[in-house]
Structure formats: C-alpha cells, structure tokens
Amino acid sequence: MQKRRYRLPVTVLCHLMVLLGAFMVLLGAVSVPARAAPPHAPTHIAAQLLAGPVKDGKATLAIRMTPEAGWHGYWLNPGDAGLGMQLSWDVPEGVKTGQPRYPVPQTLVVQGLMNHVYESEYAVLAPVTVPAGKGRIPVHVKAQWLACTEQICVPERAELAAEIAPGAPHDPRFDTWTQRLPAPLDAPAAFALNDKTLRLAIPLPASVPLEAPHLFVGQDKLIDYAAPQAFARKGDMLLVTIPRARFAPQNAAGIDAVLRLDAAGNGIALTARPGPVPSGGTMLAGSEAPKLPALPWLLLAALAGGLLLNVMPCVFPILSLKALSLARAGESEAHARIEGLAYAAGVILACLGLGAALLALRAGGEQVGWAFQLQEPVVVVALFALAVAITANLLGLFEFSVPGFASAGSPQGAFATGLLAAFVATPCTGPFMASAMGAALLLPVVPAMGLFATLGLGIALPFLAVAFVPALRARLPRPGRWMVTFRRVMAVPMGLTALALAWLIWRLGGSASLAYVAALAALVLALLGLVGRAQRSGKRALMPAFATLAVLAVGVLTMPEPRPQAQEEASIIKARPFSPEALAEARANGKPVFVWMTADWCLTCKVNEAAAIEREDTRVAFEKAGVVVLRGDWTRRDPAITRYLTEQGAAGVPLYVWYGRDGRAETLPQVLTPALLAEKAR
C-alpha cells in the first residue's frame, strides 16, 4: 500500500550562524507524533463495505466512499500531499483478498501542490478468491484514509463488515464501479529515466481520442507531480515526457501507472519496463500545471516584502547596528559605496543561506517554514551570546574591529552587519513577502533561490540608496564626537534585545536553560573585560579573545537538552490549541472560527496581539458571536502547524484565517487593525 505522504519528524542537523565571524551554531529537530482521529469519530467521507455475488470461486468486495460536499479522498499515490487508503483485512481461513483497484482519479492543484483525488462518490474494488463449498463468508476490514478540503485534512478510520453470500442477487452498482476502473493495457509500455525526465512509450492506437490527458504514476518520488506533462503522438505510440522529482528523485525497475484519456474519467492501466523510447512525434496538449503568479511578479513581491521589512517590528532589534552604519556612511563617497555594497552582500548571502537550508530541510521531509532557525533553542542561545557581546562592545568594555559592528567603518563590519540583519530580521513575514516566500517553497531551486536573493536586496535597498545617492547622504550628520555618545546610547536597544532573547530561551527551554545561558553570559563578559583591559594597556589581547570564542563555542554546542516547562497562557481571548482535528470539529459545528498562528520570537505577532487580539472589545464580540479561537504556537517546530501554513500558501507567521459560518476561509492581513476582528464577528 502507498506509504504516508505527510512526514513523521526526524532529527535534523543544520549548520548554524558564524558567531562574531568565528563559530557555527548547531541546529536540532523536534519529534511531534502525528495524530489520528478516534476510531468512532464522525467522518467527512462515509465508508461502506459491500460484497458482490460469487462466480467461479471469485467475488468482488467494494469499499464505497462518499465524500461530503467540498471534501475529497485520495488515489493510492496521493501526489504532493495526502494519504492513500490503508486496509487491514480479516477474512476466514482459505479466503484470499487481492490488490485493491481504484477508479481513474482527478487532479487537484492547491497552492501549487498536485493532488490525485476523488471529489465525488467512488468505490475501491478488491477481488476475493473463495474456496469451493463455502457458505456465507463474513468479511471485516479496518480502513484508514485522509479526508481533505482545500484548507484542512482530517485522518479518518472505520471498521467495516460485509458478508459474501453464494447465490446473492447481482448488485448493478458493481457494474458502474467496474466501468470506472481503468482498462488494462494489453501490451507493455517502455520507459527511460535520466537525471531530468521520465520518458514513456505507450502503445496506444492513434484512433483513441485524447482530451486533457494526464499520467498518474504509482511509484512515489519518481516524477514532479505538479510539473506540466508533454504528450506526443508517433503513429500508434503515445510518447510522454515528465520532469523528475525536484528533490531526491528515486529510480524504478518498473512503473505502474494510469493514463487518464479524457475529462469524463476514462483511462487505461499500464505497466512499463525499461526499454527504448523514440523521440519526435506530434505534440499534443499537456495536462494542468500549478498556477503560480508569473516569476517577474513574484520577484517584485519579494523585493517589496524585503523593503517593507525595514519598517516591521522584526527589524527593531538590529536598528542600532544600522544606525551606526548609516552615520559612518557620510565619511566619503567611495567609503559609503563600499560599505553599502558590503552590507547588501551580507544581507543577500544570509537570505540565500537561509533559503538553501530551508529548501534542503523540506527536501529531506522536514516540516519547516520561514524563520525556522529561531525555533531552536541552541540558535537563540547563540544570538543571545552575540547580543551580549555587541552590547559590551557598544558600552566600550572592549574593542573589536572585526566584524566592526560599532567601531570605525569597514567593509568587513558592514558585511557582518548585513549577515546579522538578515538573520534576525526575517522571522516574520510581512505584506508581499508571504506570497513570494510561499511560492519559493513550490518553485524549482533556481527561481526559488532568485526569490530569496531578491528578498535580501529589498532589505538592503534603503542602505544602498543612502550609499549611492549623494542627496540622501548629505542629510546625514557629519562624523564627530557625537558618535561616541550615540554608540553608548545604542547599547540600550541591543541590551534589550539580549533580555528579549533570554526571555525566549526561558520560553523554549525552561528555567534550567535560562540559568545555563546566564552563567555563560557572565563568563563571556568576564573574559571580554580581560580583553578590554589588555587593549587599554596597549597589550595584545589575542589569548583572552580566543578564550572568549572558545568558551562561546563550547558553551553553545554543549548546551544541555532543553526541557520546556508547561506554561499557562495569560490571555483575554479564550483560545484552544490548534490542531487539524479541532479545526474540522469547529467548522463542522457551523460556528465562526478564528485561526491565530503566532510565535514568541515574532515581534509582529506580539504587536498584533497587543493592538488587535488581546482586547476587551474583541473578547466581547467573539463571545457574543460564538467564535471558536484556535491558537497555533509555532515557537517550537510543529509539523501540524507547518503543514497548515503551507496549505494556506504562507511560509511563516503571523497568519490569521477567518472561517465564516458558511465555511469559507478568508486570510486576514498580517498587520491587524484594532477593530478588524470585532467587526468580523458582528
């Protein structure tokens, strides 16, 4: 049977950020088990087991599946997402069940993901061999399947029973269900694989009409399901070319597939073996491909999203670093341009690195999204140590010209500032950025990396403008003694950043983790004090500097396993934890539903909560309207939340989705106005 298409989390090892240009941080993973519906939970796809009459020692069992309006089930290979049916038969000794046969599926593209589905009643037929002389034969089966809409998926199950009765009257529904099965092809097909494509030669008479053909391949990870399929006729041979799977494509000794011939659901079942596949032929129209916005529009969205990140709360912690760089940019035209380019290079490189890590993790089956780095305690500890060191540098405890965050301007310092700016500034998604980053998770690697690079360019654009436009630079104050005072003042927001990261460490890892990093910070500050004393006395400070870096590296990499404490959320709004099951239950009850996706490290989320969600008028309006609030906390990696974000076309948080009483989903703006939610509830 087809294995699950959603992934169980596994431990993942990721390279971390270079600390002060000298060490890397280790990224781990979280295991969260997937949850299934209880055995007798109401189902959105009703299942029934029926038995046909016995003829020549053979019978047919039918599992009749009837989806509710708006719901769908899956073929044996569900495509990019979903789950094929899992069957466990219980039959008397001597009775044998064969491989189930599925009708020709439909294609459904959701957020660029290709799914192989059934949106109306369908039946899965299983042949049964019955020993001679058997009377009535009881048959039981435990069935599990996934029921989905375009917004949510719910695992469902049922224990079904039927009885095979010799001499039972013929049920005409079996004729209808049998006609919907793909007809077996009486000749084998040939296929050829290379690094980029799967090519097949299918013996199909030229007289057979084709309308919107599509080839459903039974083997997993062989092809790119959502890619366009090219069909060509060459006499009585149908030639099909399909791009290989984008990540970790698998090989196959044989291929089982179903060719859909037309929109009415007629099709043929075929088996292909390695062999010669001719080229050429007359091209036919292919099947449907994912409908994403054109790449130029996506690039513009990424550029605008990066530009707007400069005024989003996510960027506030590193404004002090930018401010000092901007002040230094007025020293000379050449110096300003060099610093601007170096800063932009750092930002773009960091965005490319984060994007590459994100795509690699998702290719490996991990449920991760944008800003995944801040879901790991060890990364936050590294950033906390960095914030402490920068604060000490700004206060004059020691001098560190490389990376030169606050000392005399240098290309190395601007580059390092850009790296840090992008790393810390991208936890939240802003306007325009959400659609671009969501598309980047679905596009091939090259255009996806282009979107990440364009996002970095957008973040760096204001600084580049100051560096290359003399009129803007002329408005900056000239360098002078005021910069020393300004440097000390900038230690305040950086120190507050360190405190915020300490709070996040406590949220992620509990009190023990906080005590550990507090001791680490105290040791680092003591060593930095030795560095500063050596510098002020005119001595070389290499030994204490290297000792500081060694302590930081060892402290971060040997951090004990975090053990987060259960914490009660102090909230005005009565919210339930998000889960697909909770969402399905709330929507089934016909009540308005507000899905609220947040994270402790997302400052935009916290601003929205203070300004629009955690308000008395919002609470009153929600209670009056009976709104069900489901809160998803993405502070730590949660595969269920990540899957939901992906289904909504979002790469990260914040995400707010409103489900009306009619069941329709509406994605709300990422920056909420104070009265928006109360108005939605009225």
Q: What count of other Cβ atoms lies within 10 Å of the Cβ of residue 92?
A: 12
Are 515 and 632 contained in the same domain? no
593 with 445, same domain? Answer: no
Residues 140 and 213 both lie in one domain = no
Domain boundary among 250, 283, 316: 283
Distance in angstroms between the alpha carbons of the first and the last residue of the chain: 48
Do 116 and 73 fall within a single domain? yes
Residue at 14 is within a domain: no
| Structural domain includes residue 4 | no
Domain assignment present for residue 11? The answer is no
Which region holds residue 131: left if phi is over 0, alpha if psi is between -120 and 50, else beta?
A: beta
Residue ranges in the chain whose pLDDT is less than 50: 1-40, 285-291, 313, 317, 401-408, 566-568
pLDDT of amino acid 328? 56
- Kindly state whether residue 167 falls inside one of the protein's structural domains: yes
* One domain, residues 331 and 373: yes
Domain membership flag for residue 321: yes
Residue 74's domain is classified under what CATH number? Answer: 2.60.40.1250
d(CA 411, CA 335): 9
What are the Cα distances from residue 294, in Å, to 75, 210, 435?
Answer: 30, 29, 12
Integer Cα distance of 533 and 447 in angstroms:
51
Q: Is residue 221 part of a domain?
A: yes
Query: What total number of domains does the chain contain?
Result: 4
Residues 234 and 253 in one domain: yes
Give the residue from 261, 283, 305 where a domain finishes: 283
Rounded CA separation 156/38 (Å): 8
Residue 17's pLDDT is what? 34
State the pLDDT at residue 293.
Answer: 64
Residue 533 shares a structural domain with residue 413: yes
The pLDDT, as a whole number, for residue 203 is 93
* End-of-domain residue from the set 181, 198, 218: 181
Closest residue by Cα to residue 68 from 179, 152, 141: 152
Q: Residues 328, 436: one domain? A: yes
Q: Quick one: pLDDT at residue 629?
A: 93
What's the confidence (pLDDT) of residue 194?
A: 82
Domain range for 544: 295-558
214: CATH: 2.60.40
> Do 176 and 195 fall into the same domain?
no
In a domain, 31, yes or no: no
| pLDDT score for 2 | 38
201 falls within a domain: yes
Q: Are residues 404 and 337 both part of a single domain?
A: yes
